[in-house]
């Protein structure tokens, strides 16, 4: 039987980050990935300044990916464009196609010293209540800490109780790569009024994220709190949105079959004796904007830091840090998801948000979580006052 200090299940952004930081901290790390190197993942590929800051911290050079300077939001006939703020995070974003981006992160982990094993983990190994390792078809590997980074709804996470809280919101989204004459545009575009084939507004949002090299990532997503969510047909919605932006983006034909997946926003258990869940396995997708790459990278680092601080109590330490650093923001964002599930309220909020460049910038800072922790400013204060207000309304929102 083999042994290591840290066994990581899954080499997406979260798992590769955890493996990189743990190996750099001196731990003996095994990183298991069931997909082939260069495997694709359904994603918008969008990196906001928060993700770029974390990649800078890891020393990952993303200079080869298409740079993004800001966000363009469209709702009906109103369009607003804002640059990324020059605050606590670098005023840079990027669109990084996941097949290449994830391969780069796996390589970073391997260079840091993690032992990358391209094989599937069948299940975690338990000794009583404690997770003591992982089982693959090649045998068992014992580890002080098992890091579950196997993504949304994965069997490894489910086996340990890291499952979606049924009463909380979640998202579904689909994306396609499409040739475009504007693939070099430096703004990510989001549309909050996606029209169905009959011209009616359908619940959800659409995006066009320019990836450079003649291609854009086009997608649509919806929150489970939206009216008619159960009738949602993502493929039809994507067709409708692609038709809506075909002319303005000079789109060609879709390059491969569009891919859909879920966006988990709240799971019940994120750690237990001998294990921690990170990234999507821990439900860390921002309900405000559907971003999960940065929280995957950050929670991967947190897990490694907790292991380094106390190898045998890393799980409890990690739970406390998640709670302190993320839970208030995520609870507010989930409550907001209930608010925007009501079309009338959504219309009022959109009109307010897009009314001026100033309000748009404020909303961007809040929704992309670009608030400076030390000097929270208006965005930070709005977030905490809004958060308290939404917490009081919680029972009403859920009903």
Choosing from 6, 22, 45, 187, the residue that interacts with ligand FAD (CB under 6 A) is: 45
Residue list 339-378, contact with ligand FAD (CB under 6 A)? none
Q: Which is nearer to ligand FAD, 293 or 390 (CB)?
A: 293
Closest contact distance (angstroms) between CB of 391 and ligand FAD is 25
156 binds ligand FAD (CB under 6 A): yes
In the complex, the smallest distance separating the C-beta of residue 87 from ligand FAD, rounded to whole angstroms, is: 19
Residue among 272 and 397 whose Cβ is closer to ligand FAD:
272
97 belongs to the binding site for ligand FAD (CB under 6 A): no
**Of the candidates 19, 44, 185, 251, which one interacts with ligand FAD according to CB under 6 A?**
44
Which segment (179-187, 267-275, 280-288, 329-337) binds ligand FAD by CB under 6 A?
A: 280-288
Q: Which is nearer to ligand FAD, 156 or 340 (CB)?
A: 156
Helix, strand, coil fractions of the chain, as percent rounded to 5 = 40, 25, 35
Nearer to ligand FAD by C-beta: 334 or 390?
A: 334
Contact 335, 390 (CB under 8 A): yes
Count of Cβ atoms closer than 10 Å to residue 54 Cβ = 22
Residue with Cβ nearer ligand FAD (261 or 330): 261
Residue with tokens 């979606």: 164
Residue whose token pair is 């409890």: 316
Q: Based on the shown chain and the rule CB under 6 A, indicate whether residue 108 belongs to the binding site for ligand FAD.
A: no
> Residue 111 has which token pair?
């260079």
Three-class SS state of 173:
strand
258 scored as a contact of ligand FAD (CB under 6 A): no
Question: Can residue 133 be called a binding residue for ligand FAD (CB under 6 A)?
Answer: no
Q: Is 9 in the site for ligand FAD (CB under 6 A)?
A: yes
91 sits in which H/E element: none
Closest separation in Å from C-beta 136 to ligand FAD: 8
Name residue, tokens 């038709």: 243
Provide the 3-class DSSP secondary structure of residue 194: coil
HEC per residue, 227-266: CCHHHCCHHHHHHHHHHHHHHHHCECCCCCCCEEEEECCC
Pattern 23-42, binding to ligand FAD, x per CB under 6 A? Answer: ---------xxxx-----xx
Alpha helices, DSSP H, located in 269-356: 293-309, 314-322, 328-340, 343-353
275 exposed, middle or buried (CB, 10 Å; 0-12, 13-18, 19+)?
Answer: buried
For ligand FAD, what does the binding mask look like between residues 165 and 184, x meaning CB under 6 A? --------xxx---------
Residue range at the interface with ligand FAD (CB under 6 A); choices 4-12, 72-80, 313-321, 375-383 = 4-12
Report yes or no: 364 and 357 within 8 Å, Cβ to Cβ.
Answer: no
Q: Which of 46, 85, 258, 272 binds ligand FAD (CB under 6 A)?
A: 46
| 153 Rama sector, left if φ>0, alpha if ψ -120 to 50, beta otherwise | left
- Residue closest to 62 by CA, chosen among 94, 97, 33: 94
**Considering CB under 6 A, how many residues would be counted as binding ligand FAD?**
40
State yes or no: residue 382 binds ligand FAD (CB under 6 A).
Answer: no
CA of 67: how far to CAs of 52, 62, 70, 94, 294, in Å?
A: 11, 9, 10, 4, 16
Q: How far apart are CA 152 and CA 8, in angstroms?
A: 15
Q: Which two tokens stand for residue 397?
A: 């929102």
Q: According to the binding rule CB under 6 A, does residue 10 interact with ligand FAD?
A: yes
Contact positions vs ligand FAD (CB under 6 A): 9-15, 32-35, 41-46, 120-121, 149-151, 154, 156, 173-175, 219, 261, 263, 279-281, 285, 290-294, 296
């Amino acid at each position: 039987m083999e042994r290591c200090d840290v066994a990581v299940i899954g080499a997406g952004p979260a798992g590769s980050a955890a493996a990189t930081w743990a190996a750099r901290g001196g731990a003996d790390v095994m990183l298991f990935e069931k997909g082939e190197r260069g495997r694709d993942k359904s994603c918008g590929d969008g990196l906001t300044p928060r993700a770029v800051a974390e990649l800078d911290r890891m020393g990952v050079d993303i200079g080869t990916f298409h740079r993004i300077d800001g966000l363009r939001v469209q709702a009906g006939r109103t369009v607003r464009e804002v640059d990324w703020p020059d605050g606590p995070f670098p005023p840079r974003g990027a669109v990084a196609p996941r097949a290449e981006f994830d391969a780069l992160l796996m390589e970073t982990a391997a260079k840091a010293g993690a032992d990358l094993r391209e094989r599937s983990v069948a299940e975690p190994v338990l000794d009583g209540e404690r997770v003591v390792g992982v089982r693959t078809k090649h045998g068992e590997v014992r580890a002080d800490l098992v890091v579950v980074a196997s993504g949304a709804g994965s069997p490894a996470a489910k086996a340990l109780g890291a499952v979606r809280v049924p009463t909380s919101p979640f998202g579904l989204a689909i994306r396609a790569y499409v040739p475009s004459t504007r693939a070099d545009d430096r703004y990510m575009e989001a549309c909050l009024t996606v029209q169905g084939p009959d011209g009616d507004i359908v619940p959800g949002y659409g995006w066009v994220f320019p990836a450079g090299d003649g291609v854009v990532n086009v997608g649509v997503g919806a929150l489970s709190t939206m009216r008619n969510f159960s009738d949602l047909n993502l493929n039809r919605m994507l067709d409708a949105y692609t038709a809506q932006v075909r002319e303005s983006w000079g789109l060609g034909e879709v390059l491969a079959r569009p891919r859909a997946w879920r966006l988990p926003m709240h799971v019940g258990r994120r750690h237990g004796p001998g294990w921690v869940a990170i990234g999507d396995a821990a439900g860390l997708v921002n309900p405000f904007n559907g971003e999960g790459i940065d929280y995957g990278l950050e929670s991967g680092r947190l897990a490694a830091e907790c292991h380094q601080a106390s190898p045998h109590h890393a799980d409890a330490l990690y739970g406390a840090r998640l709670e302190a650093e993320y839970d208030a923001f995520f609870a507010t964002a989930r409550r907001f998801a209930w608010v925007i599930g009501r079309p009338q309220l959504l219309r009022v909020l959109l009109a307010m948000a897009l009314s001026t460049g100033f309000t748009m910038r404020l909303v961007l800072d809040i929704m992309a979580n670009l608030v400076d922790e030390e000097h929270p400013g208006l965005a930070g204060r709005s977030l905490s006052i809004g958060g308290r207000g939404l917490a009081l309304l919680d029972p009403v929102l859920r009903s």
